[in-house]
């Protein structure tokens, strides 16, 4: 490979410091987008043979119900008041 071509493991060139992040790359500041997961599930359902269509539909339904239960649990947990840690005075002699 020629030295002037971009190599996958080449060290950063001048002006490209370590730890540099593209400000347009917002992956680290927000939660993952679930649209890709739902698109994949829909694609799997469409690609499945007719014999497996009902089973796959039930599997996706169970997954979505589980996801909904997890979200409900998390929201309930957020609504609860925080418990103060139990502090015990220990006499020092």
Work out the average pLDDT over 9-19: 53
Say what the pLDDT of residue 73 is.
93
List Cα–Cα distances, 57 to 34, 36, 47, 49, in angstroms: 18, 18, 12, 12
- Please report the pLDDT score of residue 71 as a whole number: 92
Q: DSSP letter string over 25-87?
A: --TTTSPPPTHHHHHHHHHHHHHS-HHHHHHHHHHHHHHHHHHHHHHHHHHHHHHSPPPPPP-
Average pLDDT over residues 87-92: 85
> For 5, which DSSP code?
S
Read off the pLDDT of residues 35-63 as tens digits, 9 standing for 90 and up.
888 898 888 888 889 898 889 889 889 98
Predicted local distance difference test score (pLDDT) of residue 68 = 95
Mean pLDDT along residues 20-42: 72
């Amino acid at each position: 490979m020629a030295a002037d071509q971009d190599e996958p493991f080449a060290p950063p060139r001048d002006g490209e410091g370590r730890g540099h992040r593209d400000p347009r790359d917002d992956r680290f500041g927000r939660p993952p987008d679930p649209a890709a997961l739902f698109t994949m599930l829909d694609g799997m359902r469409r690609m499945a043979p007719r014999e497996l269509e009902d089973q796959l539909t039930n599997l996706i339904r169970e997954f979505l119900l589980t996801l909904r239960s997890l979200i409900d649990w998390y929201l309930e947990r957020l609504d609860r008041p925080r418990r103060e840690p139990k502090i015990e005075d220990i006499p020092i002699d």
